[in-house]
């Protein structure tokens, strides 16, 4: 019986020793997560940006100083990503010679190998560095040198995150806020704020007129343009908006002068809610109109000042 | 019934499932292949169109030694931008100098679209993809001045029109597919139901027959395989019914035939036992009668056994049996009976007459026919037995000038226990099975037998037997 108790105690002792000596099982690696920017392989990046971001875990202490963190970022960019299909924007063999941070600007000095980059490849490398480093709190600009000298081919010496537009084909729909004018119950023009979806290739003026023709969303408002009113096309050229309507539409205009005025003002005021529209020209089958029914077009030809 | 139902449902399910699987395959192909081909055609067309547009814009800025926002805008003022949604011109670093986009204009920013980057490295690039209801196409070309890359042209097209057409095509194909699927589903269900119903009718008939309802028939209309199977089944049941009737008749006849001598024996033994002081002569007469009845019982039993053996189908392999020696043995065995009835027996056998059977079978055929002819002959009559061998067959004729058989009985004389004149037959010691044994034996060896009346009086039996051995018998 004594032997059994002895064996049990020995087993418990071994278990306790094993538990104390075993590595941590929580699976968490030490380090800092940073969003870094690499070059995507051409085959995977078709239709998208060549620069692609990826969250990488850097081998630095959580409370590491900014400079050390920035160095780790650059070294990871030099080494390449952990993610398959992403590669370093810098040529092989390039080394980080120095990195200083002064007045929120990171000065990154590479070995001479970086001079092998030119043209768009140089720009890609500059902005992969810039986007990665400016992601760190305390860095807002980046300068890159090779052995302390400015890179001869670089068009600029200081790079900012705001210089780059990263977008993809998914970005084809843009939402733009405009004001459309409809009639209220007092028969006065009232603006309705509307977000218009603008697909690639469509002009804002064109979509605005289409929305105006569709009528208001607010049930308390009513449309000004008659339902059978048609527009051939709306075109913008150097701040001038050309609205071409079929000549036959003029024949169906309401006879009431007040109604004609409301129609013209509704169209003009809505179009002038687009910041880039400075002038308005009305055409009937391509011929410029001087009067919309009984209302002179000249009254709405220019953006109202004030 | 439950098993039949399950079987029908299972078959119906299988048939329906097969149709549906086939249909789904066809519909999937129908809904994918034309769309893929159309999509590919659009891609090719987009590639060409976008490359042309990029080349046209490229031509607008060709000749400039360096690209700036001002000179590209001036050059693009007269450029045709029909058919594209966006055009971008950049410097060699990817900085946008000109952008047609109205909202979110990228002029002054760096953009790194993969196709543009490819162009700024000196290569033409084009890409087209269909997603979210639109064709997204892009193409890029380098802008060169004296073989130096001074910028890039990037054009982009967002096309919902062709995508809409493709969507309409896809929708139409889907609608047609749904219509076809619904129609085919109904047709396959109706068809499989019809099929299984017919099968069910056949199964019901089979089950009925299995349970003893021999009058059950499968009634299927049409001319397909199921109808043919039903026809075969009905023929089979006809034969089964005939056989069953014959069996019942046979059992009835056999019981009756066995009962008659047994009843006589019982009567005679009762008479002996109940008659006191019966004289010896009478007793001997009674015992003699009992012996005759016992002998009759024995003959009937032997004949029945013989028929049972024939029915069992097991037969020894045939040999070529010479008819003449067998005929001699038959006449020798019949001589006492023939002499007793004063019937003359004439025999003639052609040269080399042989029959493909066993010797016992040939003897049985000849003896039974000859004995029958002697038994039912008139006093001072004759019987004539002839055997002739031809190319393929040997014909044995046994004829007599006896009392003959009425025409209406001729077709039945080979039936078991059939007697033309029952009283006379029993008196003559017949069992009613002799001719049946002959007929079965002849049939089993591939021969034929028929009986006919001789106009001048008497009966003729013609037996045709094969005189050659078949290959499988050798």
* Phi/psi of residue A300, nearest 5 degrees: -120, 15
Burial string for A200-236 (b: 16+ CB within 10 Å, else e) reads bbbbbbbbbbebbeebbeeeebebbbeeebebeebeb
**Domain co-membership, A42 together with A153:** yes
**Domain co-membership, A97 together with A220:** no
Calculate the alpha carbon distances from B283 to B265, B270, B272, B297 in Å.
Answer: 13, 12, 7, 21
**Domain co-membership, A106 together with A45:** yes
- What was the pLDDT predicted at A20? 44
Calculate the alpha carbon distances from A253 to A185, A188, A265, A295, A299 in Å.
Answer: 21, 19, 14, 11, 18
**Domain co-membership, A156 together with A180:** no
**Domain co-membership, A149 together with A176:** no
Q: Which residue, among A61, A69, A56, has the nearest Cα to A31 in the 3D structure?
A: A61
Domain C-terminal end among A111, A128, A163: A163
- Residue of chain A whose alpha carbon sits nearest to that of B118: A42
Is A37:A52 a contact under the CB 8 Å cutoff? yes
Chain A residues with beta carbon closer than 8 angstroms to that of B110: 123, 127, 163-165
Overall size of chain B counted in residues? 474
Alpha-carbon distance A66 to B463, whole Å? 123
- What was the pLDDT predicted at A23? 41
The pLDDT tens digits along chain B (474 residues) read 455 555 556 666 777 778 778 888 888 888 888 888 888 888 898 889 999 999 999 999 988 989 999 999 998 887 777 778 889 999 999 999 999 887 778 899 999 999 999 999 999 999 998 887 788 889 999 999 988 999 999 999 888 888 888 888 888 888 888 888 888 888 877 887 777 788 888 888 888 888 888 888 888 888 888 888 889 999 998 888 888 887 887 787 778 778 878 888 898 899 888 888 888 888 898 899 899 889 888 888 888 887 777 777 667 889 999 999 999 999 999 898 899 889 999 999 988 899 999 998 999 999 999 998 998 888 889 999 999 988 889 999 999 998 888 888 888 888 877 777 766 666 666 677 889 889 989 998 999 999 999 888 899 999 999 998 887 766
- Cβ–Cβ below 8 Å for A201 and B158: yes
**3-state class of A136 per DSSP?**
coil
- Residue of chain A whose alpha carbon sits nearest to that of B132: A170
Alpha-carbon distance A216 to A194, whole Å? 9
**Domain co-membership, A134 together with A113:** yes
Is B64:B150 a contact under the CB 8 Å cutoff? yes
Burial string for B12-39 (b: 16+ CB within 10 Å, else e) reads beebbeebbeebeeebeeeeeeebeebb
- What was the pLDDT predicted at B153? 96
Alpha-carbon distance B300 to B129, whole Å? 98
Alpha-carbon distance B305 to B310, whole Å? 9
- Cβ–Cβ below 8 Å for A169 and B129: yes
Task: For residue A114, give its domain range.
Answer: 32-163
Q: What is the pLDDT of residues A118-135, one digit of tens each?
A: 899 999 999 999 999 999
Count of CB contacts below 8 A, A vs B?
A: 98
Question: Does A241 map to a domain?
Answer: yes
Which tokens sit at A110?
């590479």
- Residue of chain B whose alpha carbon sits nearest to that of A172: B158
Chain B residues with beta carbon closer than 8 angstroms to that of A204: 102-103
Spell out the domains of chain B, with CATH numbers in brackets: 2-166 (3.30.450.20), 221-314 (1.10.287.130), 316-473 (3.30.565.10)
**Domain co-membership, A90 together with A206:** no
Q: What is the pLDDT of residues A4-50, one digit of tens each?
A: 555 555 555 555 544 444 444 444 557 888 999 999 988 888 888 99
Which one-letter DSSP state was computed for residue A274?
A: S
Provide the 10 A C-beta neighbour count for residue B375.
21
Which tokens sit at A192?
């309705």
Q: Mind telling me how many Å the CA of B104 is from chain A's nearest CA?
A: 8
- Cβ–Cβ below 8 Å for B138 and A42: no
Question: Does A95 map to a domain?
Answer: yes
Domain C-terminal end among A122, A140, A163: A163
Would you tell me the crossing angle of helices B280-312 and B434-444 to the nearest 10 degrees?
20
Q: Mind telling me how many Å the CA of B48 is from chain A's nearest CA?
A: 17
- Cβ–Cβ below 8 Å for A124 and B112: yes
Chain A residues with beta carbon closer than 8 angstroms to that of B102: 198, 203-204, 236, 276
Question: Does A14 map to a domain?
Answer: no
Q: Mind telling me how many Å the CA of A47 is from chain B's nearest CA?
A: 7
**Domain co-membership, A139 together with A41:** yes
- Residue of chain B whose alpha carbon sits nearest to that of A123: B93
This prediction's pTM: 0.56
Which tokens sit at A264?
């013209």
Question: Does A210 map to a domain?
Answer: yes
**Domain co-membership, A186 together with A284:** yes
Percent of chain A surpassing pLDDT 70: 88
- Cβ–Cβ below 8 Å for A164 and B109: yes
Question: Does A235 map to a domain?
Answer: yes
Neighbouring-strand partners of residue A175: A197
- What was the pLDDT predicted at A87? 94
Q: Which residue, among A86, A260, A118, A199, has the nearest Cα to B161 in the 3D structure?
A: A199
Tell me which residue has tokens 């900014």: A66
Neighbouring-strand partners of residue A237: A240
Number of domains within chain A: 2
Q: Which positions in chain B have a beta carbon within 8 angstroms of at least one beta carbon in chain A?
A: 84-86, 91-96, 101-104, 106, 109-115, 117-118, 120-121, 127, 129, 131, 134, 136, 138, 149, 152, 156-158, 160
Provide the 10 A C-beta neighbour count for residue B221.
9
- Cβ–Cβ below 8 Å for B127 and A127: no
- Residue of chain B whose alpha carbon sits nearest to that of A126: B93
**Domain co-membership, A202 together with A157:** no
Is B176:B168 a contact under the CB 8 Å cutoff? no
Alpha-carbon distance A297 to A290, whole Å? 5
**3-state class of A263 per DSSP?**
helix
Domain C-terminal end among A129, A163, A197: A163
- What was the pLDDT predicted at B203? 86
- Residue of chain B whose alpha carbon sits nearest to that of A154: B93
Question: Does A22 map to a domain?
Answer: no
Q: Mind telling me how many Å the CA of A295 is from chain B's nearest CA?
A: 31
The pLDDT tens digits along chain A (306 residues) read 445 555 555 555 555 544 444 444 444 557 888 999 999 988 888 888 999 999 999 988 888 899 999 999 999 999 999 888 999 999 999 999 999 999 999 999 999 999 999 899 999 999 999 999 999 999 999 999 999 988 877 778 899 999 988 875 455 667 888 999 999 988 889 999 998 888 777 788 888 999 999 999 999 999 999 888 889 888 888 889 999 999 888 888 888 998 999 999 999 999 999 888 999 999 999 899 999 989 999 988 888 875
Question: Which helix H or strand E contains A32, and what residues bound it?
Answer: strand A32-40
- What was the pLDDT predicted at A26? 45
- What was the pLDDT predicted at A6? 56
Question: Does A3 map to a domain?
Answer: no
- What was the pLDDT predicted at A22? 42
**Domain co-membership, A256 together with A176:** yes
Question: Does A49 map to a domain?
Answer: yes
Burial class for A130, CB neighbours closer than 10 Å (0-12, 13-18, 19+): buried
- Cβ–Cβ below 8 Å for A120 and B86: no
**Domain co-membership, A221 together with A286:** yes
């Amino acid at each position: 019986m004594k032997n059994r108790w002895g064996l049990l105690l020995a087993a418990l002792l071994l278990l306790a020793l094993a538990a104390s000596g075993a590595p941590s099982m929580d699976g968490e690696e030490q380090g800092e997560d940073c969003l870094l920017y690499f070059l995507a392989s051409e085959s995977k990046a078709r239709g998208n940006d060549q620069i692609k971001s990826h969250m990488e875990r850097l081998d630095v202490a959580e409370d590491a100083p900014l400079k050390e963190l920035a160095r780790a970022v650059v070294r990871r960019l030099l080494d390449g990503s952990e993610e398959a299909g992403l590669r370093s924007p810098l040529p092989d063999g390039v080394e980080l010679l120095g990195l200083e941070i002064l007045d929120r600007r990171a000065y990154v000095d590479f070995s001479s190998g970086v001079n092998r980059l030119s043209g768009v490849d140089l720009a890609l490398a500059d902005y992969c560095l810039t986007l990665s480093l400016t992601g760190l709190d305390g860095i807002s600009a980046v300068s890159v040198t090779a052995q302390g000298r400015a890179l001869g081919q670089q068009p600029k010496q200081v790079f900012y995150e705001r210089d780059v537009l990263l977008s993809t084909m998914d970005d084809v729909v843009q939402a733009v806020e405009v004001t459309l004018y409809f009639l209220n119950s007092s028969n006065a023009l009232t603006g309705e704020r509307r977000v218009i979806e603008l697909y690639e290739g469509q002009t804002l003026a064109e979509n605005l007129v289409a929305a105006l023709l569709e009528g208001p969303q607010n049930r308390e408002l009513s449309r000004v343009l008659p339902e059978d009113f048609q527009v051939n096309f709306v075109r913008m050229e150097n701040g001038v908006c050309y609205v071409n309507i079929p000549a036959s539409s003029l024949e169906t205009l309401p006879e009431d002068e007040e109604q004609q005025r409301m129609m013209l003002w509704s169209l003009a005021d809505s179009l002038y809610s687009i910041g880039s529209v400075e002038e308005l020209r009305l055409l009937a089958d391509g011929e410029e109109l001087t009067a919309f029914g009984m209302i002179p077009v000249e009254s709405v030809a220019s953006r109202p000042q004030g | 019934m439950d098993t039949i139902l399950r079987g029908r449902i299972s078959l119906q399910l299988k048939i329906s499932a097969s149709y549906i699987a086939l249909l789904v395959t066809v519909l999937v192909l129908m809904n994918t292949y034309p769309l893929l081909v159309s999509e590919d055609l659009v891609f090719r067309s987009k590639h060409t169109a976008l490359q042309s547009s990029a080349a046209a814009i490229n031509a607008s800025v060709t000749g400039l030694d360096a690209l700036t926002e001002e000179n590209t805008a001036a050059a693009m003022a007269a450029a045709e931008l029909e058919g594209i949604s966006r055009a971008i011109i950049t410097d060699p670093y990817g900085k946008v100098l000109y952008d047609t986009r109205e909202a979110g204009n990228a002029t002054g920013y760096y953009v790194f679209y993969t196709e543009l980057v490819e162009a700024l490295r000196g290569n033409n690039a084009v890409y087209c993809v269909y997603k979210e209801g639109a064709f997204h196409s892009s193409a890029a070309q380098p802008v060169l001045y004296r073989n130096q890359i001074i910028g890039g042209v990037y054009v982009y097209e967002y096309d919902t029109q062709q995508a809409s057409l493709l969507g309409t095509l896809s929708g139409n194909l889907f609608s047609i597919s749904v219509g076809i699927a619904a129609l085919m589903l109904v047709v396959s269900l109706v068809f499989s139901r019809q099929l299984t119903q017919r099968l069910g009718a056949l199964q019901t008939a089979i089950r009925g027959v299995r349970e003893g309802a021999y009058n059950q028939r499968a009634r299927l209309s049409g001319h397909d395989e199921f109808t043919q199977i039903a026809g075969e089944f009905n023929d089979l049941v006809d034969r089964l019914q005939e056989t069953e009737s014959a069996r019942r008749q046979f059992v009835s006849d056999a019981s009756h035939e066995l009962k008659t001598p047994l009843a006589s024996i019982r009567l005679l033994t009762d008479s002996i036992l109940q008659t006191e002081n019966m004289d010896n002569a009478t007793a001997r007469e009674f015992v003699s009668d009992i012996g005759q009845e016992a002998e009759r019982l024995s003959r009937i039993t032997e004949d029945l056994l013989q028929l049972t053996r024939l029915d069992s189908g097991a037969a020894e392999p045939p040999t070529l049996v010479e008819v003449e020696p067998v005929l001699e043995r038959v006449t020798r065995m019949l001589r006492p009976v023939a002499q007793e009835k004063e019937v003359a027996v004439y025999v003639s056998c052609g040269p080399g007459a042989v029959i493909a059977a066993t010797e016992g079978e040939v003897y049985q055929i000849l003896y039974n026919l000859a004995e029958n002819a002697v038994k039912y002959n008139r006093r001072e009559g004759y019987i004539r037995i002839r055997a002739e061998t031809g190319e393929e067959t040997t014909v044995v004729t046994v004829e007599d000038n006896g009392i003959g058989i009425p025409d209406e009985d001729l077709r039945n004389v080979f039936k078991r226990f059939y007697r033309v004149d029952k009283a006379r037959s029993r008196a003559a010691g017949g069992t009613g099975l002799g001719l049946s044994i002959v007929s079965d034996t002849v049939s089993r060896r591939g021969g034929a037998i028929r009986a006919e009346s001789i106009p001048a009086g008497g009966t003729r039996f013609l037996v045709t037997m094969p005189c050659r051995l078949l290959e499988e018998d050798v």
